[in-house]
Structure 1
Amino acid sequence: MQCAVAVCPGFTVREEMKPAYNDIVHWAVMDYDGNLDPDKGLLIWGDIGTGKSTMLKIIREFCSLVRPHIEGNRYYFRIDNVIDVCAAYADESIYGGYRGIRQYIDSPRQAFDELGSETLPTGRYGNFENVMQYIFQSRYDNRYHQFTHATTNFTIDQIQEAYGERIYDRFKEMFNFVALRGKTFRINTQKNMEK
């Protein structure tokens, strides 16, 4: 809970989310008897405003404390919004295109936040690419040496539609699917702003 409060001072646990949080804790401490496979990344999906992005940051902090350190380095992963990832591809300088997304393909531990919010496909000089589909395919090919996490508001059907059956099928090998469903946490914030 300390990691959660450090990341989000107003963090609260809703009753309906406790099973998912419990599964994530078991995953983080590499409990192979839990419901999630510790050797796969997390795909946190669900309704808008249910704390998926916040949970990703909490997981990163918690894992840095409880997961084994490799060669003295704590467990850590990058978190990048997919809009920024696609902007790196669309960059018209010499640093754009496939060169611009190389870092997201090669990162040993990478999280993609807000999957599905990017422009599909992304254009650069009249060429168009489904950037995240390309990245996921590349990361799938290296799945035994890389960890990938993601958050999305997409349903499973929308994931298949946006990235194709082949990528969705690979997601099953890359990710544990964790649902955070319910009402938005942002309602209380809006009410407080109106007072």
Structure 2
Amino acid sequence: MEKKKDLSIREVISTNREFYRALRKEAEEIISDERKKILQHRLFLPLAYPDFRNLFLSFGTICLHKRNQNRTFIVNENNEPIIKQLYFYVTHNPSFEGDLSKGIMLQGKYGCGKTVILETYSLLHNHIIRQFRLNYPLLTFIKSVELQEQIRTQSINAFVRRPLIIDEFGRESKTVMDYGNITRPISELLSLRSEIGTLTHGTTNFTLTTLSSDEFYGGMIGDRFKTMFNFISLPGESRRK
């Protein structure tokens, strides 16, 4: 009696359409579940733009007062396009000029208002979560220099999964001497966050080309920046007085 030939997995999939359809359906369900997980970690605001703009004005003024600056946040021709893009981003609007699954990296000259804009966003975001006791992670706003020091004295694991807004990318020392060993805390953190897809926002005075140079984070981290961030430029000169 002739022995029945065993089919390879490739032959089974190509010859058995029912088997293929079942696998395809399972794959689509897994993709759907993963997308839901991503959305569960993102706060989307059900607001019209005029309401968001007014709230941003109020929390921008709060941000300035927290900095001991007794003045009102001003929306002008330079920052309103950025505020509008933030609105599209937090309402998951397809009018956003970028990838809604990535974080935002604000680029611009010293003092043009990048830090205040993203710090205002974090204040508004976190206030809503606390006020309404929503089950979303808070945004941690931290300067790159301070973050590097905390990684050195604590543990990098404390910052791998936490949503961060890292202010002044590129201003910190690129290497740190730790018990005789040269380490790159921020580069290592960015690599780990990129691998698991943790949402990261930031501000910088430097271009992607500069950040990707050997004097900064190098080509590998620079390449990961492309998958982590929407680079948005904020025009204008220093607004500091």
- TM-score normalised according to structure 1 size: 0.80
Q: Is the 8 A contact 2:122 2:141 kept in 1?
A: no
- How many Å separate the matches in 1 of 2:134 and 2:77? 37
- TM-score normalised according to structure 2 size: 0.65
- How many Å separate the matches in 2 of 1:35 and 1:53? 20
What RMSD, in angstroms, separates the aligned Cα atoms of the two structures?
Answer: 2.4
1:128-160 alpha-carbon deviations (Å, 9 max, x no partner): 1222111110000011xx211111111222111
The 5 A counterparts of 1:110-129 are 110-129=164-183
Q: Is the 8 A contact 2:152 2:185 kept in 1?
A: no
The 5 A counterparts of 1:47-86 are 47-64=109-126, 72-74=134-136, 76-86=138-148
How far apart are residue 5 of structure 1 and its match?
Answer: 2.3
| Aligned position for 1:192 | none
- How many Å separate the matches in 1 of 2:143 and 2:221? 19
Deviates most, 55-64 or 154-163: 55-64
| Aligned position for 1:152 | 204
- How many Å separate the matches in 2 of 1:23 and 1:66? 19
Indicate yes or no: 2:158 matched with 1:106.
no
Looking at secondary structure, tell me which structure has more strand per residue. Answer: 1
List gaps (5 residues or longer) in structure 1.
190-195
1:84-111 alpha-carbon deviations (Å, 9 max, x no partner): 12223444xxx4xxxx22212231x112
The 5 A counterparts of 1:139-178 are 139-143=193-197, 146-161=198-213, 162-178=216-232
How far apart are residue 64 of structure 1 and its match?
Answer: 4.5
| Aligned position for 1:22 | 84
Q: Is the 8 A contact 2:174 2:217 kept in 1?
A: no
Q: Is the 8 A contact 2:125 2:139 kept in 1?
A: no
Look up the SS of the partner of 1:59 in the other structure: helix
How far apart are residue 62 of structure 1 and its match?
Answer: 3.4
What letter corresponds to residue 91 of structure 2 in structure 1?
A: V
Name the CA shift for 1:102/1:130 in 2 (closer, same or farther; >3 Å): same
Structure number with larger C-alpha Rg: 2
How far apart are residue 74 of structure 1 and its match?
Answer: 4.6
Q: Is the 8 A contact 2:144 2:166 kept in 1?
A: yes
How far apart are residue 3 of structure 1 and its match?
Answer: 2.4
